[in-house]
């Protein structure tokens, strides 16, 4: 989406989230008791409670400095009709099964697709940034409607559509469109996948969609496979004989933005067994540095990854002649994810990368230690042209 296109990969923050259990007196609704218990082990942004008669998801601080939490209950529509007064005390009650969904971030698309719920998606803001080919087919068929921009959703279209639920992306609690739609009785569920600090924490939000689509077991299995793959690649990377040094980011006007040492981008580099030169810095977002300080510390770096929007060496040279002073530039050791786009120009890394950190890590291990993964074809990252 356009806000993600404008923002660097590295501007991420970590906000703790907790959960609240549902009331014991709802256990009489045995038809929706979940036998399996979904454990959230990496994500700090949400928790799932299956101990009662129906699933409850709690999300707290879904945007920076949030002062409120949100608790969502997923209850069969038949029970809502028969016993409407039995279900109170939640920030949103979602009638299941869900048939009509609106989501607001491209990071929501892969989970719907993986869990077989893409046909339930009826609207999206800024559809041009969606890269998923199945989703693009639905857009071309008019089955996924263009709903404006996230900050200014076309409320008239949404009200006419009457979705069962809207999965919201928000920077704060001042979204007028969301408030209007909530007053009209449409549940808004805030998804905070983007606030997670670790690669596996972001990926674990597929379990959030598992509850939404009543596919918790499938979501659990998918995440376990991603987690296992990620950990095995991380262990493989430890076998490398050398730990190369790594530079990241690029200049925006006069400021060089690059990942802080506690960010998920820095975690990727560490897990690929490389020495990120700013790994000892604090913060989960980005650092704002001068060209001089970056040149002093990173001029001799072996590799340079994620150089903002740049796709070619000539393009970088034209933007700033000082880029050519870095050894990684001279030796053509720069890799970017900006060259991997969908059919309408959306960056695939922003859409699919958070759900598939295992593929991201394979890319980085292949770049830093090609001898360890000689058969891997780069997916997100590509060498600069």
CA distance 162 to 142: 17
CA distance 356 to 373: 17
Domains of the chain as residue ranges with CATH: 2-228 (3.40.50.1980), 242-383 (3.40.50.1980)
- 268, burial (CB in 10 Å: exposed 0-12, middle 13-18, buried 19+): buried
DSSP 347: B
Residue 291 CB neighbours (<10 A) = 16
CA distance 305 to 309: 11
β-strand partners of 123? 102, 145
- The pLDDT value recorded for residue 89 is 84
Kindly give the confidence (pLDDT) of every residue in the chain, 385 residues in length, as a single tens digit, with 9 standing for 90 and above: 443 333 333 333 323 222 333 333 333 333 333 444 568 999 988 999 999 889 999 997 687 677 788 999 999 998 887 776 677 889 999 999 999 999 999 999 999 999 999 999 999 999 999 999 999 999 999 999 999 887 778 999 999 999 999 999 888 878 888 999 999 999 999 999 988 889 999 999 999 999 999 999 999 999 999 999 999 999 999 999 999 999 999 999 899 999 999 999 999 999 999 999 999 999 888 999 999 999 999 999 999 999 999 999 999 999 999 999 999 999 999 999 999 999 999 999 999 999 999 999 999 999 999 999 999 999 999 999 9
**Largest Cα–Cα distance of the chain, in whole Å?**
71
344-381: string of b/e by CB count within 10 Å (b at 16+)? eebbbbbbbbbbbbbbbbbbbbbbbbeebbeeeebbbb
- The pLDDT value recorded for residue 247 is 97
CA distance 134 to 117: 11
Distance from the Cα of residue 18 to its chain's centroid: 19
Helix (H) or strand (E) holding 297: helix 291-298
């Amino acid at each position: 989406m356009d806000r993600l296109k404008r923002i660097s990969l590295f501007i991420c923050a970590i906000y703790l989230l907790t959960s609240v259990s549902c009331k014991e007196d709802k256990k009489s609704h045995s038809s929706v008791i979940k036998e399996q218990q979904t454990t959230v082990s990496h994500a700090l942004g949400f928790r799932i409670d299956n101990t009662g008669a129906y699933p409850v998801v709690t999300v707290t601080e879904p945007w920076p400095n949030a002062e409120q939490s949100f608790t969502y209950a997923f209850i069969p529509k038949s029970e809502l009709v028969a016993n409407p007064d039995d279900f109170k005390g939640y920030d949103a009650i979602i009638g299941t099964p869900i048939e009509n969904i609106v989501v607001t971030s491209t990071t929501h698309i892969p989970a719907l697709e993986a869990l077989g719920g893409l046909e339930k998606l009826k609207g999206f803001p800024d559809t041009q940034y969606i890269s998923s080919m199945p989703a693009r087919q639905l857009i071309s068929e008019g089955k996924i409607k263009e709903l404006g921009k996230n900050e200014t959703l076309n409320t008239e279209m949404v009200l006419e559509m009457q979705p069962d639920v809207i999965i919201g992306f928000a920077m704060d609690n001042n979204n007028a469109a969301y408030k209007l739609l909530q007053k009209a009785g449409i549940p808004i569920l805030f998804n905070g996948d983007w606030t997670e600090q670790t690669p596996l924490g972001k990926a674990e939000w597929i379990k959030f969609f598992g509850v939404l689509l009543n596919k918790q077991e499938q979501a659990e299995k998918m995440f376990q496979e991603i987690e296992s793959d990620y950990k095995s690649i991380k262990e493989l990377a430890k076998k490398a004989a050398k730990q190369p040094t790594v530079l990241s980011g690029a200049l925006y006007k006069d400021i060089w933005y690059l990942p802080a040492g506690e960010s998920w981008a820095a975690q990727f580099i560490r897990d690929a067994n490389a020495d990120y030169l700013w790994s000892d810095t604090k913060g989960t977002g980005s650092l704002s540095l001068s060209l001089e300080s970056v040149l002093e510390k990173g001029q001799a770096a072996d590799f340079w990854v994620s150089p903002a929007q740049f796709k070619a060496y000539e393009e970088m040279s034209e933007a700033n002649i000082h880029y050519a002073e870095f050894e990684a530039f001279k030796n053509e050791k720069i890799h970017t994810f900006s060259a991997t786009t969908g059919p309408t120009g959306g960056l695939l890394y922003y859409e699919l990368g958070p759900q598939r950190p295992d593929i991201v890590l394979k890319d980085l291990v292949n770049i830093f230690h090609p001898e360890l993964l000689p058969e891997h074809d780069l997916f997100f990252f590509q060498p600069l042209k």
